[in-house]
């Protein structure tokens, strides 16, 4: 009887924990991403979590497109620029982010976004920072593909 109770307790604990298959830097980050409040609304699956900091995110946002690319820092990152820990979460699902209108004669993109990058602070504030695609025809590198990138320096 005792062995049966222990096994059931372990199964219960495992089923309540964050997605163990997600790439992650820390258990704290994994749990923070897993607790993102909008996750259940969009039925998102956590794919990756990277630990970062406010200063690192500021640097990344200012340099990630290279020296000639656009550089700006979003409101969330500005607010948390001095935080010692920020979690960068990547979710897969179906997301209804706004899209720019296509230039004529192009037609409207039929594919919904299927990857989302969210920044989460240690107190739990969050910011949906980028919408994009993975494994989607016509949306490869440079065409909206959102890779699971660690927020450091220049990323392609």
**Alpha-carbon span 82 to 54, nearest angstrom:** 5
Q: Are 61 and 70 in contact (CB under 8 A)?
A: no
- 152 vs 59: CA distance, rounded Å: 8
Tokens of 12: 């219960």
How is 12-44 classified by DSSP, letter by letter? Answer: HHHHHS--TTSEES-HHHHHHHHT-TTHHHHT-
Per-residue confidence (pLDDT) for residue 19, from 0 to 100: 56
pLDDT for residue 64: 76
Successive 10-residue mean pLDDT values, the chain, 156 residues: 36 38 88 83 87 92 77 89 95 84 76 92 92 89 87 58
């Amino acid at each position: 009887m005792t062995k049966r109770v222990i096994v059931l307790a372990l199964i219960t604990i495992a089923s309540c924990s964050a997605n163990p298959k997600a790439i992650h830097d820390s258990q704290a980050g994994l749990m923070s991403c897993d607790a993102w409040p909008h996750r259940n609304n969009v039925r998102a699956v956590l794919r990756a979590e990277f630990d970062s900091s406010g200063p690192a995110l500021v640097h990344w946002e200012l340099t990630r497109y290279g020296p000639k690319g656009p550089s700006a820092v979003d409101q969330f990152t500005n607010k948390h620029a001095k935080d010692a820990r920020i979690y960068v979460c990547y979710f897969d699902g179906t997301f209804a982010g706004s899209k720019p209108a296509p230039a004529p004669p192009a037609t409207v993109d039929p594919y919904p976004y299927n990857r989302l990058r969210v920044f989460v602070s240690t107190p739990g504030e969050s910011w949906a920072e980028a919408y994009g695609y993975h494994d989607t025809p016509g949306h490869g590198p440079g065409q909206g593909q959102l890779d699971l990138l660690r927020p450091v320096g220049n990323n392609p």
